[in-house]
Amino acid sequence: MTRRIVVVGGGESAEHDVSLSTATAVAQALRSSGFDVDELTIGRDGLWRRGTDALGSRAIGSLAAALAVIERADVVFPAVHGPSGEDGTLAALCSLTHTPMAGSGLRAGALGMDKWAAKLVAQAVGIRTAPGRLVAAAQIADVEFETDVVVKPASAGSSFGVALARDGARLCDALRCAARFDDRILIEDVVVGREIDVAVLREADGRRWASPPLEIHNDGLFDTRSKYDGSARFSVPAGIDGADRAALAGAALRMFDALGCAGVARIDFFLTDRGPVLNEVNTMPGMTAASQVPRMFAAAGLPYEQLVARLVDAAAVPAPIGPGVEPVTS
């Protein structure tokens, strides 16, 4: 029997267009593998759409109509990057409706999306992170002068709002820019090292394995512009020795497990003279065939269409947060 997959793309965040690209590529890959695919899009206005048709005129009615589509799905593939998608929002919806979903559940999505929380988890399992601190957007006028820092929204993706500050004026500009994307801002010391990404895949049988590492070659900060204008180069597998490769894979697997990830996640590091330093975690990374994660698995001999199909094969109903409570019987 052909399985019916509902792919959800778009979203209300700054990553709307990136999410559309991922959703389109995933849907095409699933169709080529023989799945019956339906596509839903969340507009920037919060309205759900099926094709070009808006499913209602208000967000709540639109969601109700979308649920009627999801009800007929064997698996939901949420391809929405950033807030109100990757952060566990769609995983919570699938959990409430008891619908199998490809990818990480609410807890992993929420922790992975929050860069400050992810740093705390990494430190707890022995993974180094850049020295940093968290400030409220409302208090950026009180931030003291700092140089050679990276400013990031605490919960945003695709490097939106990320900037390098080497002087006071640039710091002020960077803080104001980051505040457009989140009300919490992370200020981190600059880490000198090679930018290396590792992807981890959890198979349907529960086995997890790390992809070959990918190195990012870029002049300056790997920001939103360089991510999408073609100026950055990628090397996969990265030209690193066996010890560094093992250290990166081990750290990636520890982070994947500590967050409770499922499906696929991309864990980004700086490789320094003292070993890996965590940069950030992506529980719903870019998933076009040209994106970093599919490139890494292709280098391991896993083609794009098979990667996407395996994510569907491994789909499960997201677990609720907290322990289950058994009913009391007399």
Residues contacting 144, CB < 8 A, separation 6+? none
Query: Which amino acid is residue 90, in one-letter code?
Result: L
Report residue 323 as tokens: 């322990």
Catalytic residue of the set 286, 291, 295, 310: 286
DSSP 183: S
C-alpha 274 chain-centroid distance: 26
For the question of residue 158 being annotated catalytic, the response is: yes
Selected catalytic residue, list 280, 291, 304, 310:
280
Given the residues 13, 155, 158, 211, the one annotated as active site: 158
Q: Is the dihedral of CA 217, 218, 221, 224 positive or negative?
A: negative
> Under DSSP, is residue 243 helix (H, G, I), strand (E, B) or coil?
helix
Residue 14 has phi, psi (to 5 degrees) of -65, -15
Contact criterion met (CB below 8 Å) for 66 and 48: yes
Q: Of 12, 159, 268, 304, which one is the catalytic site residue?
A: 268
Query: Residue 174, SS3?
Result: helix
Catalytic residue among 11, 12, 13, 15: 15
Catalytic-role residue among 228, 244, 257, 275: 228
Contact yes or no for 175/185 (Cβ under 8 A):
yes
- Catalytic site residue 286? yes
Q: Give catalytic status of residue 266 as yes or no.
A: yes
> What is the dihedral sign for C-alpha 181, 186, 190, 193?
negative
245 is annotated as an active-site residue: no
User: Which residue in the list 282, 291, 295, 304 is annotated as catalytic?
Assistant: 282
Q: Is 279 a catalytic residue?
A: no
Active site residue 15: yes
* Catalytic-residue membership of 305: no
Vertex 230 angle, CA 224 and 231, to 5°: 85
Question: Residues 75, 315: contact at Cβ < 8 Å?
Answer: yes
Which string of DSSP letters, residue by residue, matches 40-96? EEE-TTS-EEETTEES-SSHHHHHHHHHHHHTT-SEEEE---STTTTTTHHHHHHHH
Q: Which of 107, 266, 295, 310 is catalytic?
A: 266
Contact by Cβ (8 Å): 86, 113: yes
Annotation marks residue 194 as catalytic = no
Rounded to an integer, what distance in angstroms lies between the CA atom of residue 265 and that of residue 263? Answer: 7
d(CA 208, CA 179): 36
Q: List the catalytic residues.
A: 15, 158, 228, 266, 268, 280, 282, 286
